[in-house]
Chain A
Amino acid sequence: AAGVIQSPRHLIKEKRETATLKCYPIPRHDTVYWYQQGPGQDPQFLISFYEKMQSDKGSIPDRFSAQQFSDYHSELNMSSLELGDSALYFCASSYTGEAKNIQYFGAGTRLSVL
């Protein structure tokens, strides 16, 4: 079965650079979520989109923005990168028509800011 695809898997950037992370949800899933997991930390919710509209917002810095496109893929744009942005970034997708609304996670993008 198709899973959530994230790209790239690894990304190395310098401070103050920008980064774009991509997420391709499971086909038919209408909701995408982004989470950030720092080293040794639990995942923290950043933002979510339903049918291309932002549905919820968590602890996402103003330097970050995200959107969901017409094909339901989503991109997380990160500017003015800081050392503290180094983390695993997960995308998850779900289908609101499913009663349990379980989120399925991608393998993540590991961002290292040097």
Chain B
Amino acid sequence: SQQGEEDPQALSIQEGENATMNCSYKTSINNLQWYRQNSGRGLVHLILIRSNEREKHSGRLRVTLDTSKKSSSLLITASRAADTASYFCATGLMNTGFQKLVFGTGTRLLVSP
């Protein structure tokens, strides 16, 4: 990946358990976003955390950002089978005011009933 790695590459858990995915990146960023992708489908924006924020919550999602370590984590609590998907972190890099996203390699999450 151009920007970084996610780990684990694959994660298999039972419904009700928590899932934690980590993302590392290489360059300075304006923000970091997490996206979800069901198999072969479009990317759905989940949550954005700015570079001056350390933690963000949205429903069952909790994102942390450590800019000193250039890393972020996504925690999904009380997982459901419907959470089965690939999860990508993407860093927002500003170029002349326009933001392109640089994606990590993704974590494939499988939640079994």
Contact = CB atoms under 8 A, between A and B. Distances in A.
A96 B41 contact: no
A26 interface: no
Given A33-B101, A105-B45, A110-B40, 7 more contacts: A33-B100, A42-B1, A42-B106, A55-B95, A94-B99, A100-B48, A107-B41
Q: How large is the interface on A (under 10, 10 to 19, 20 to 34, 35 or more residues)?
A: 20 to 34
A107 B45 contact: no
13 contacts: A31-B98, A33-B100, A43-B43, A43-B88, A43-B103, A45-B100, A48-B98, A56-B100, A90-B42, A92-B43, A100-B48, A101-B92, A107-B41
A107 B38 CA distance: 10
Contacts of A33: 100-101
A contact face: mostly helix, strand, loop, or mixed = strand
Interface string B80-113: 0000000010001001111111111110000000
Interface in A61-111: 88, 90, 92, 94, 96, 100-108, 110
B33 interface: yes
Interface residues of B, number: 26
A56 B101 contact: no
Interface string A44-61: 110010100001101000
A107 B37 CA distance: 10
Interface of A: 31, 33, 35, 42-45, 48, 50, 55-56, 58, 88, 90, 92, 94, 96, 100-108, 110
A55 B96 contact: yes
B41 A42 contact: no
